[in-house]
Amino acid sequence: MIESFANFLGNTGAAALFQNGGPDAIKTIIMLAIACVLLYLAIVKKYEPLLLLPIAFGMLLSNLPMIKDSSAIMMHTEWFTDTQYMIDGHINVGMIAREGGLLDLLYLGVKLGIYPPLIFVGIGCMTDFGPLIANPKSILLGAAAQFGVFFTFIGALVISALVPSIAWGVKEAASIGIIGGADGPTAIYVTKSLAPSLLPAIAVAAYSYMALIPIIQPPFMKLLTTKKARGVVMDQLRPVSKTEKIIFPIVVTLVVAFIIPDAVSLVGCLMLGNLLKESGVCDRLVDTAQNALMNIVTIFLGITVGATATASSFLSASTLGIVALGLVAFIFSTCGGLLLGDLMYVLTKGKVNPLIGSAGVSAVPMAARVSQSVGQKENPSNFLLMHAMGPNVAGVIGSAVAAGVFLSMFNGM
Amino acid sequence: MNLDQALISGHGITLPQAFSTGGETAVIGMGIVFSVLIILMIVLNLFKVIFYREKKAEPAAAVTEPIPAVQPAAEEENEEELIAVITAAIAASLNTSTYNLNIKSIRRVSPGRPAWNRAGLNETINNRF
C-alpha cells in the first residue's frame, strides 16, 4: 500500500520536474512561462489567436515535466531532429507510428509537408485574384516585397559569421529570411525541410509580426512616400470576366511549374483552391476547403509546431536572433514594395499610389487594409483597398516562389 | 551550387563568405522571383487583349443604359420589383429620394457564414424567444 503510494508519487509530474536536477527544472519552468505569455498575447492582445493559441498550448503540452521514457509523453522532438533516432538521415516513420504520442503522429503532417499546402487550398478558396488580373503591373510589387527575404538571408549569414555562439548555415539563413515573406504556411514549409530545429522560433516570429503589421508598416510607409503621392486616387479597376478568373489559376500553375518546380506544391494548391472557387461548380468542396478542412489543419499545424519548442532548442541566442531578424525581414520587405511603388508613381506620372507597394508582403488581407487606412488618412475619400489587394495576392505567389528558390538551392545539401 | 562546408554547417563562416554567398543568392533569388512574376504580368496583359475587348461591346450597352434610367431594365417582373424595393431601401437609409440615386448594378453576395454556423445562430435565437 505505502509502496504503491510511493510509486505513484515518483510518477507525478512534480517529481519528474526535478529528475534531472535544478537547472533543467528552471528551464522547464521558463518554457512553461513563455507558453503562458504567448497564450496571453493570443487571448488578451488577440495576436493572430487562431494560430498563436494552438502554438502556445502545444508548447505548454510538450514542455510538461514527464518521467523519462514515459508513455504519457506526447511529443518526442528528438525523433525528428536527432540523427541517432533516424535511419540513414530520414525519420523512422515506423517507430514514430508504433511508439509515438498524439503530437508525434500529428507532427508527421508538418514533417512530410502535408499541412501547409492543404492550408493553401483553403487560402486559394478565399482569394480573389480579380484586382490583380485587372491591374497586371501590381504583380511586380508582390515581387519587390520579397526583398526582405533575401536581405535577411544575407543578414543571417553575417550574424552567423560575427557571433560565435550562433551557427547558422545557408539552410538556417534561408528559413529565417523567408519570415519576410509574411506568410506563415510558406515559412513553416521551408523551415521543416531546411532547418527543423528552428521551426518553433520561426513560426512564432512570423505569426507575431504578421499580427503586428498595422504597427510595423505605417512609419515606413510615411517615411518612404511623399504627402502628394499618398493622396493619389487611382483609376477604377476594369471589370474582370469569369473566363479570365478561371484561366488565371491554370496559367499560374503552368508558369510556376515550368520555371521553379519546387514552388508547385504551394502555388499549385493555392491555385487548386482558387479554381474550385472561380469555377462555380464545386460549391460544396469550396465550403469544406475554406472552413472545415482549413480549421482542422490549422489546429493540427499550430499545436504541433508549438510542441517542437523544447528548452534546448528554444532557449538559445539563436531564438533571440530570429526574433530580431524577423522584424528586419518584415521592414525590408515593406520598404522593397514601397520603393518600387515610388518608382511606378514616377514612371506612370502619378497614376499609381505608392502606398499599395507595402501590401506586397503577403499577409492577406491585413497589409492591404494598412495601405487603405494610411491612404485614407491623407485623403479621406480615397479607397485603395481593391488596388492594394493586387500586390497583396501577388505577394502570396511571390513568397511561394522565393520559398521554391531556397528549396531548390539548399534542400538535400 | 557548390558551397563551402562552413556555409552548410554554419560553423566558422567568414565575413567575405557571408557577403559573397548571401549576395549571390539574393541576386539569383530576386531574379527568379521577378522573372516568374514578370512572365505572369505579360500573360495578364495578354488576358486584357484577348478577353477584355470582346466584353467591351456588351457592358457598354449595359452601363450606358442604367445611367439615364433610375433602374436597369430587368427581364422579369419579379426582378424589377426587387430592384425597386432595394432602391427604396437604400434611399430610405440614406435619407434621400430615389430620384437622386442611380442604381448601376445589384449583386447577390454569398452569405458570410457557413450553413452550420447559420443554423446554430438561428437555433440560439429561437431558444431565447
Span A20-33, mean pLDDT?
86
pLDDT of A236 reads 87
Span A210-238, mean pLDDT?
92
Q: Do A394 and B37 make contact, defined as CB atoms within 8 angstroms?
A: yes
Judge whether residue A31 has pLDDT over 70: yes
Across A15-24, A117-126, A226-235, least confident range: A15-24
Query: pLDDT for A284-299, tens place per residue?
Result: 999 999 999 999 999 9
Under the banding of pLDDT at 50, 70 and 90, the label for residue A368 is: very high
The residues, ordered by sequence, that sit 6+ positions from A365 with a Cβ below 8 Å of its Cβ are A389, A392
Across A40-44, A47-51, A101-105, A118-122, least confident range: A47-51
* Shortest Cα–Cα distance, A347 to chain B (Å): 17
Spatial distance between the Cα atoms of A53 and A44, rounded to a whole number of angstroms: 11
- State which of A10-19, A80-89, A91-100, A271-280 shows the largest mean pLDDT: A271-280
Q: Does ipTM surpass 0.85 in this model?
A: yes
Question: Residue A90, SS3?
Answer: strand
Spatial distance between the Cα atoms of A210 and A216, rounded to a whole number of angstroms: 9
From B26, B39, B47, residue closest to A153, measured CB to CB: B26
Q: Do A173 and B59 make contact, defined as CB atoms within 8 angstroms?
A: no
Query: pLDDT for A328-338, tens place per residue?
Result: 999 999 999 99
Hey, is the C-beta of B36 within 8 angstroms of any chain A C-beta?
A: yes
Spatial distance between the Cα atoms of A307 and A74, rounded to a whole number of angstroms: 9
Residues 229-268 of A with CB under 8 A from B: 238-239, 241, 243-244, 247-248, 251-252, 255-256, 259-260
pLDDT of B54 reads 54
From A151, A155, A401, residue closest to B36, measured CB to CB: A401
Hey, is the C-beta of B18 within 8 angstroms of any chain A C-beta?
A: yes
Question: Residue A164, SS3?
Answer: coil
Enter the C-alpha cell of residue A350.
502619378
The answer for A46, left when phi > 0, alpha when psi is -120 to 50, beta otherwise, is left
Spatial distance between the Cα atoms of A77 and A290, rounded to a whole number of angstroms: 30
Q: Which of A217, A249, A216 is nearest to A358 (CA)?
A: A217
pLDDT of B111 reads 63
pLDDT of B1 reads 58
- B63 neighbourhood in chain A, CB within 8 Å: none
Hey, is the C-beta of B20 within 8 angstroms of any chain A C-beta?
A: no
Query: pLDDT for A91-102, tens place per residue?
Result: 899 999 998 999
Pick the residue with more confidence: A224 or B105? A224
Kindly list the domain boundaries of chain B, sorted by start residue: 1-64, 69-129
For every residue of A264-332, DSSP letters joined together read HHHHHHHHHHHHHHHHSS-HHHHHIIIIIIHHHHHHHHHHHHHHT--HHHHSSHHHHHHHHHHHHHHHH
Tell me what the pLDDT averaged over chain B comes to: 77
Span A256-260, mean pLDDT?
93
Hey, is the C-beta of B85 within 8 angstroms of any chain A C-beta?
A: no
Spatial distance between the Cα atoms of A26 and A28, rounded to a whole number of angstroms: 5
Judge whether residue B70 has pLDDT over 50: no
* Percent of chain B residues topping a pLDDT of 90: 24
Phi, psi of A73 (to 5 degrees): -65, 125
Across A39-53, A360-374, B52-66, least confident range: B52-66
Interface with chain A: mutation pick from B47, B53, B55, B113, highest number of A CBs within 10 Å: B47
Hey, is the C-beta of B114 within 8 angstroms of any chain A C-beta?
A: yes
Q: Which of B37, B83, B10 is nearest to A139 (CA)?
A: B37
Enter the C-alpha cell of residue A54.
494552438
Judge whether residue A235 has pLDDT over 50: yes
* Shortest Cα–Cα distance, B53 to chain A (Å): 11
For every residue of A218-269, DSSP letters joined together read HHHHHHTS-HHHHTPPPPPPPP--HHHHHHHHHHHHHHHHHH-GGGHHHHHH
Across A47-61, A169-183, B100-114, least confident range: B100-114
Hey, is the C-beta of B82 within 8 angstroms of any chain A C-beta?
A: no
Listed as own residue / partner, the contacts of A242-245 with beta carbons closer than 8 Å and 24 or more positions apart are A242/A278, A242/A280, A243/B51, A244/A133, A244/B47, A244/B51, A245/A129, A245/A130, A245/A133, A245/A278
From A147, A154, A260, residue closest to B36, measured CB to CB: A260
* Shortest Cα–Cα distance, B93 to chain A (Å): 20
Kindly list the domain boundaries of chain A, sorted by start residue: 2-104, 117-410
Q: Do A158 and B55 make contact, defined as CB atoms within 8 angstroms?
A: no
Cross-strand pairs, A90: A87
Question: Residue B67, SS3?
Answer: coil
Enter the C-alpha cell of residue B72.
436597369
Q: Do B44 and A405 make contact, defined as CB atoms within 8 angstroms?
A: no
Residue bearing cell 427581364: B75
Helix (H) or strand (E) holding A367: helix A366-378
Span A245-251, mean pLDDT?
95
pLDDT of B129 reads 61
Enter the C-alpha cell of residue A250.
491554370
Contact A142, B37 (CB under 8 A): yes
Judge whether residue A134 has pLDDT over 60: yes
- B34 neighbourhood in chain A, CB within 8 Å: 140, 143
Span A239-250, mean pLDDT?
93
Residue bearing cell 510518477: A11
From B26, B30, B114, residue closest to A291, measured CB to CB: B114
* Percent of chain A residues topping a pLDDT of 70: 100
Span A310-314, mean pLDDT?
85
Spatial distance between the Cα atoms of B22 and A124, rounded to a whole number of angstroms: 32
Cis before A365? omega within 30 = yes
Q: Which of A55, A68, A61, A98 is nearest to A211 (CA)?
A: A55
Q: How far is CA A342 from CA A267, A330, A335, A351, B57, in A?
A: 28, 18, 10, 11, 35
Integer distance in angstroms from the first to the last C-alpha of chain B?
A: 70
Judge whether residue B88 has pLDDT over 70: yes
Identity at A224, one-letter amino acid code:
L
